[in-house]
Structure 1
């Protein structure tokens, strides 16, 4: 949730302030928790915890290397996870890409732009959903306490999931 005057009485979002608030936190994130809920047969539900190593790329982007463990609700063995993400802060948006296939083969996931998400709240919302096959990934970023939450809504022929990635300062 981005508040503290970033939405005026007419419901207009201060886009520059919203982008700067997120950018400032990106550089200091160190912890991650994940909550996955599924209303589909995929059964992708459970919780995870991990650490985030932040590095700054020469082009100004912020790279996250996430490492942790995910435990499925159904009792399956815990799984180790590793994600490589690149956050590129631009004047009016933040672009998120995954880099699991290497730095030169990044895949753009979402372009986040400031938008009102509640009566007095601003957040960053994915302008277009990311498509992976027949599945659609819609993202919303909300500032929260000492970090931010990235909420993904995943829908498709066999998917109906909500993934919450809670990033916090180290």
Structure 2
């Protein structure tokens, strides 16, 4: 791993522990058979350890048609030697979403796509001066979705 990549990983790890808020936008593209469109803005309770950071997210999601619902997610970030692992803690067993590895001084990309049934999930993470941006793409026979997170 280059020095820039090691620095990016160290910066991301430090900044994850300082996150307190997030925004989320869901959109879908041509061919999507889902109706997952809308946005949310909410709080992140962070539980930080030496090698793991838990994100307990809560917000009100506003669907594109105006319907509102509570949104809660639990994510676990784990620091690995050359990447960070992101897991969804929705069920009894954690679901591995991505291992994100630095590809530039401020950018990360999944090491391998996450496969869920016939759907493929990919992700990019960008470190900006005042926020962390995480963009997921989901492609499959019935899906063409984009999930766009901003953390600060």
User: What is the TM-score of this pair, normalised by structure 1?
Assistant: 0.82
Task: Report deviation, 1:13.
Answer: 7.1
1:145 aligned residue (117, 125, 129): 129
1:45 aligned residue (37, 40, 43): 37
Is residue 16–residue 91 contact of structure 1 (8 Å, CA) maintained in 2?
no
Match of 1:90 in 2: 80
1:63 aligned residue (40, 54, 58): 54
1:81 aligned residue (58, 71, 74): 71
Structure 1 residues 45-71: Cα deviation after superposition (integer angstroms, max 9, x where no partner): 1111110000024x6200110011111
The alignment yields a C-alpha RMSD, in angstroms, of 1.6
For residue 14 of structure 1, give the secondary structure of its aligned residue in structure 2. helix
- Matches for 1:88-127 after TM superposition, within 5 Å: 88-102=78-92, 105-116=93-104, 122-127=106-111
2:18 aligned with 1:15? no
User: Which 4+ runs in 1 deviate beyond 4 A?
Assistant: none
For residue 29 of structure 1, give the secondary structure of its aligned residue in structure 2. coil
Structure 2 gap segments, 5+ residues each: none
User: Across the two proteins, how many residue pairs are aligned to each other?
Assistant: 149
User: What is the TM-score of this pair, normalised by structure 2?
Assistant: 0.91
Task: Report deviation, 1:101.
Answer: 1.5
